[in-house]
């Protein structure tokens, strides 16, 4: 086989973290399979927007390809009662069985944060049973607590059938760009803040919880202190909702500081956007990040990174990396002192300190890619 043609079901625009994930996956898969790969993008948000369906037409399309890849992404949510599968990948099980090429459910997130109803869980287990019974379908979940969620909520017997893999954002490919956001005379510090799901991120239900407004005050104080200590702070949006929280923080920073030492990166989308933004990450001295891929890609690029935790996914990521000491619960009172201490240590240690056990995660990913290669070899004509 001279090349492999792949139908890729995922999200490709609106969140550069998704693009970073796809970039790393495509690079590593082509390296493993040893043939050119040609991907056709099937935007899953067209399903969410009710513009397309996973119907007979989708099956007909899928059957024109050598391989179907679903994800990565957070598509194994567990609250979607009106889905035929109990999750965001909403397809009739008989139609799923009618897809002829191998199907890889690639490094998906199993997210219980919005609830997991009994109805959705029942459908999800039936969906997984179909996949498990097929020798040409593979299941994998990413290292963001998804395996833990599977075991605790779906059942240990299902957790065992998933490959547990690093998100491919660890392997994203970037390209060299000029960045006016950087200042060669100061320490360049990226601060990445998430502006969505604020009720979940700042529930303010226990005595040590803080409100969103209190967080903004504290984060502004941290940024001010970093700038006064020689930092050039660059605020980076990943999705459009991040722009509002960036603006809210900047409003609280003293005028002389924000005019001289605080910048924002552009809001970009797609592959070109991810190559520009994560190149900016790679050239920074420190990253403080809320979003999953802001943390994942920074660590993969070897940049000192501190996780800003106010969502289960980020806490579990650092737990799975055995690096929880490099994360801070930023929805708790007094987070500023801990964050400043970690930031000062990270800047002092610089890029020499790598918190990733790269060999461990590389071996897990290589094992997973071997399984994909084996499946393709068994079900794709002429592939050797």
Local structure of 254: helix, strand or coil: coil
Cis peptide, bond prior to residue 110, ω within 30 of zero: no
- CATH fold match for the domains 4-172+360-379 and 187-352: yes
Residue 281 confidence (pLDDT) above 80: yes
Out of 103-112, 170-179, 239-248, 334-343, least confident range? 103-112
Mean pLDDT, to the nearest integer, of 296-315?
A: 96
CA-CA-CA-CA torsion for 289, 290, 294, 295, nearest 10 degrees? 70
Residue 1 confidence (pLDDT) above 70: no
Which pLDDT score, from 0 to 100, does residue 351 have?
A: 75
Which pLDDT score, from 0 to 100, does residue 380 have?
A: 82
Which pLDDT score, from 0 to 100, does residue 2 have?
A: 82
- Phi/psi region, residue 334 (left: phi>0; alpha: psi -120 to 50; beta: rest), is left
* Domain 187-352 bears CATH identifier 3.30.465.10: no
Mean pLDDT, to the nearest integer, of 363-373?
A: 97
| Beta-bridge partners for 232 | 188
pTM of the complete model: 0.94
Mean pLDDT, to the nearest integer, of 326-347?
A: 96
For the record, the structure tokens of 183 come out as 């200042």
Which pLDDT score, from 0 to 100, does residue 384 have?
A: 65
Q: What is the mean pLDDT of the chain?
A: 94
Which pLDDT score, from 0 to 100, does residue 352 have?
A: 66
* pLDDT tens string 188-198: 999 999 999 99
pLDDT above 70: percentage of residues in the chain? 98
Going from N- to C-terminal start, the domains of the chain cover 4-172+360-379, 187-352
Residue 353 confidence (pLDDT) above 80: no
Which one has a higher pLDDT value, 31 or 116? 31
What architecture is domain 4-172+360-379? 3-Layer(aba) Sandwich (3.40)
């Amino acid at each position: 086989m001279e090349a492999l043609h792949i139908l890729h079901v995922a999200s490709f625009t609106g969140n550069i973290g998704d693009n970073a994930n796809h970039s790393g996956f495509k690079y590593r898969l082509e390296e493993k399979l040893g043939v050119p790969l040609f991907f056709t993008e099937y935007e899953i948000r067209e399903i969410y927007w009710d513009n397309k369906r996973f119907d007979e037409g989708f099956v007909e399309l899928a059957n024109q390809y050598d391989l179907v890849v679903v994800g990565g992404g957070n598509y194994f949510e567990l609250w979607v009662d009106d889905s035929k599968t109990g999750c965001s990948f909403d397809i009739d099980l008989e139609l799923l069985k009618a897809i002829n090429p191998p199907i890889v459910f690639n490094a998906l997130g199993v997210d219980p944060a919005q609830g997991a109803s009994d109805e959705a869980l029942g459908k999800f287990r039936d969906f997984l049973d179909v996949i498990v019974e097929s020798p040409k379908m593979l299941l994998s979940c990413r290292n963001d607590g998804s395996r833990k969620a599977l075991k605790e909520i779906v059942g240990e017997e299902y957790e065992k059938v998933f490959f547990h893999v690093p998100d491919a954002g660890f392997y994203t490919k970037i390209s060299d760009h000029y960045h006016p956001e950087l200042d060669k005379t100061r320490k360049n510090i990226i601060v990445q803040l998430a502006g969505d799901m604020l009720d979940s991120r700042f529930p303010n239900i226990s005595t040590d919880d803080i409100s969103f407004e209190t967080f903004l005050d504290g984060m502004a104080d941290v940024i001010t202190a970093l700038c006064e200590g020689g930092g050039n702070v660059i605020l980076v949006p990943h999705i459009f909702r991040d722009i509002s929280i960036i603006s809210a923080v900047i409003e609280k920073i003293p005028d002389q500081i924000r005019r001289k030492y605080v910048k924002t990166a552009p809001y970009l989308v797609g592959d070109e956007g991810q190559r520009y933004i994560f190149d900016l990450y790679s050239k920074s001295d420190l990253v403080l990040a809320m979003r999953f891929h802001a943390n994942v890609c920074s660590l993969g690029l070897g940049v000192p990174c501190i996780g800003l935790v106010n969502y289960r996914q980020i806490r579990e990521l650092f737990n799975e990396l055995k690096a929880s000491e490099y994360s801070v619960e930023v929805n708790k009172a007094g987070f500023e002192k801990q964050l400043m201490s970690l930031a000062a240590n990270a800047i002092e240690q610089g890029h020499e300190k790598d918190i990733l056990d790269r060999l461990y995660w590389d071996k897990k990913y290589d094992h997973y890619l071997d399984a994909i290669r084996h499946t393709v070899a068994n079900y794709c004509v002429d592939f050797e």
